[in-house]
Chain A
Amino acid sequence: MTIGKVVGNLWSTIQEPNFAGTKLLIVQPLDIATRQPTGNTIVAVDVAQAGPGDIVLIVYEGSSSRLSLNNERTPCEAIIAGIVDRIDVPA
């Protein structure tokens, strides 16, 4: 898992049927230590009711992502699993 910032959302009318009812957000992964953007943009299914600008917990791995969706047949490998309140990294 890693953290990221919600930078946008997208609309899709024609999609794989198992995605029906899901909310897709555009997320920029962040370096946990520096909080700077790192890596490539991810499109993730939101199961945590996140919104614009939120720092979120991203699960970017197949089977664990699907398990948190109501429909395990959704072909999705990326989800937003939580909204981060605070990050403590003791020096």
Chain B
Amino acid sequence: MFMGRVIGKVVMTVKDESLEGARFLIVQPFNHDGTLPGPPLVAIDVVQSGPGDTVYLVKGREASMPWINPHCPVDACIVGIIDQFHLDDGGVTPPGSTGAVA
């Protein structure tokens, strides 16, 4: 899993029927030191997160498991909203204060 910030959403009318009702959010991943590992990605959401939330995501086969139909075509899923994270060298860090994705 990895951390990311929700920066937007994707709306689709026509999609695979197993994904009916799913929410697709755009997430910018970030590393603990504030650097960005890569470009934003699209992930489904099962924890009702929204733009501005700091979240953690699972990638790969496991990403489809939380959805109603576990055989849906999905490779990234937001599985939790981060309240805050603590770095051993930097005190308690509220979500968003990494500076990387502000």
Q: Is A75 within 8 A of B31, CB to CB?
A: no
Q: Is B39 an interface residue (CB 8 A)?
A: no
In the complex, what residues of A have CB within 8 A of residue B59's CB? 77
Interface size class of A (residues with CB under 8 A): 20 to 34
Q: Is A9 an interface residue (CB 8 A)?
A: yes
Interface of A is mostly: mixed
Q: Is B65 within 8 A of A73, CB to CB?
A: yes
**How many chain B residues touch the partner (CB < 8 A)?**
35
Q: Is A13 within 8 A of B83, CB to CB?
A: yes
Q: Is B80 within 8 A of A63, CB to CB?
A: no
CB distance from A60 to the nearest CB of B (A): 9
Q: Is A10 within 8 A of B85, CB to CB?
A: yes
Q: Is A7 within 8 A of B65, CB to CB?
A: no
Q: Chain B residue with minimal CB distance to A53?
A: B88
In the complex, what residues of A have CB within 8 A of residue B84's CB? 10-11
- Identify which of B29, B56, B61 contacts A63 (C-beta below 8 A): B61
Measured in the bound complex, the distance between the Cα atoms of B91 and A9 in whole Å is 11
Measured in the bound complex, the distance between the Cα atoms of B62 and A14 in whole Å is 19
Known A15-B47, A26-B32, A62-B61; contact A41-B81, beta-carbon cutoff 8 A: no
In the complex, what residues of A have CB within 8 A of residue B80's CB? 12, 14-16, 19, 24
In the complex, what residues of B have CB within 8 A of residue A7's CB? 32, 87-89
Q: Is A44 an interface residue (CB 8 A)?
A: yes
Task: Give A residues with C-beta under 8 Å from B.
Answer: 6-16, 18-19, 24, 26, 28, 40-44, 52-53, 62-63, 66, 73, 75-78
Nearest first, the 3 A-B pairs at minimum CB distance are A15-B80, A10-B85, A40-B37
